[in-house]
Amino acid sequence: MIVGHLLKKSLFAAAVLSLCGQGAFAQDEEVEGESPQPTPIVQGFENFPFPVRVPRGLYELEPIGEPYEYERRLPFLGAEAAQKGIIMPEPYGASALYIYNWQKAAISDLSVALSLAGPPPQGTELVSTPFVSFNNVESETDAGQFKLDAWVLPFMNAFISKGRVTGGSDIQVSVDVDEFIDSLPLPPVINPCPPRNPCGTVTWPFTANIDSDTYTLGLVGVKNWGKNVATFNGSYTFSDSRKATAESVIEVATVGAKYGRLITLESGATLTPYVGVNYTYSDNIIRGTATSPDGLLPAGQNLSIRFEARQKNISPWSGTVGFSLGVSRRWNLNFDLTASEYLKRAVFGATMRF
């Protein structure tokens, strides 16, 4: 229902649920009559920051600029990288993200309790029944996230984020009412669905509202050569539900890879468009209640259901396109779009590095 979000919402998403940022700088080759100036190698794309080129071994890397002293605590090996002339990015980042997520999901392991006298109370025993099914499950959610990241190595970024997901899942419930009535210990004289006038199958849609806090932990590794950049990321998202109409226990694991190329604009800003692929495994539990509309049953009663079900993404694969705009060494904006037949996710983000 809210799976891709966290991803994410990326993040990574990200996706699910990822961090904006800027990358490292190297020195231009000296031009006659001019002093060498720092030129951005990578300033970042999607919502991750990107660091220096990754050598086979830092000590084997030929100097690419004038050595200098680097005195920040992070990243580790930053001082060694500085001796190769690599100008390090600001090591810490704070990001604000907005994530929109639409997704189709598959429902399994459905257990229910049914009642003709209002929703079954909390604690009612739920059982698997062949005469109840959930179909056409779609979720649409919005999420705001705040993320913190740090370069722990010149080629590796670690991040943690907290967000709040709100929205809902549209679910279509189908109940074979005759089988349900037969399962009740009702005298034939009060059977609302006698054999001569069966009730048949009733179907009604309802929306399970979602309101959950989500937390994401992740790592991003980077390799760049010249102005080409490849990233490899992994993240794990879990939730603490606020229990709206439905309670959702979310667990999402995502791995992905992206390729981008740095473009330096006349203003001095940098633009890095990219493409990528994601693999997301989502295994969530949803719990809640729903009541049929008035008059759905022949006798005029309402049918109520308390349910618990396992929800998984239909396909784990999705593609990603997006760009990052490095406004300055400290500020970065990004947009990311992830899509498949069963998933649509958009991420807007801004990062300040310090």
The Cα 110–Cα 162 span in angstroms is 30
Tell me the CB-side half-sphere exposure of residue 265, using CA atoms within 13 A.
13
- Asked if 175 contacts 134 with a C-beta cutoff of 8 angstroms, the reply is no
Distance CA 138, CA 207 (A): 9
Is residue 81 left, alpha or beta, with left meaning phi > 0 and alpha meaning psi from -120 to 50? Answer: alpha
Distance CA 41, CA 22 (A): 10
Categorize the per-residue pLDDT at 115 as very low, low, confident or very high, splitting at 50, 70 and 90: confident
Q: Helix or strand or coil: residue 256?
A: strand
Q: Which two tokens stand for residue 158?
A: 């670690």
| One-letter amino acid for residue 347 of the chain | V
Q: Stretch 317-330: mean pLDDT, rounded?
A: 92
Identify each DSSP E strand in 116-200 by its residue range: 132-153, 156-176
Mean pLDDT to the nearest integer, 102-117: 89
- b/e string for 208-240 if b means 16 or more Cβ within 10 A? bebbbebbbebebbbebeebebbbebebbbbbe
d(CA 272, CA 8): 20
Q: Please give the average per-residue pLDDT across 137-142, as a whole number.
A: 91
Is 98's pLDDT higher than 90? yes
Do residues 94 and 107 touch, judged by C-beta distance below 8 A?
no
Q: Which amino acid is at 284?
A: N
Task: For residue 125, give its domain range.
Answer: 3-353
pLDDT class of 289 with cuts at 50, 70, 90 = confident
**Under a CB-based contact definition with an 8 Å cutoff, are residues 232 and 254 in contact?**
no
pLDDT attached to residue 268: 84
DSSP state of 29: P
| Domains: count for the chain | 1
Could you give the CA distance from residue 9 to residue 7 in angstroms, rounded to a whole number? Answer: 5
Strand partners, 173: 134, 204
What's the rounded mean pLDDT across residues 120-147? 90
pLDDT of residue 244 exceeding 60: no
- pLDDT cut 90: percent of the chain above it: 34
Q: Residues 188-203: pLDDT tens digits?
A: 556 667 777 777 888 8
Whole-number Cα distances in Å, 151 to 62, 224, 326, 336:
22, 16, 17, 22
Taking the C-alpha atoms of residue 91 and residue 89, their distance in angstroms, rounded to an integer, is 6
**Taking a C-beta distance cutoff of 8 angstroms, is the pair 235, 7 a contact?**
yes
* Per-residue DSSP letter, 214: E
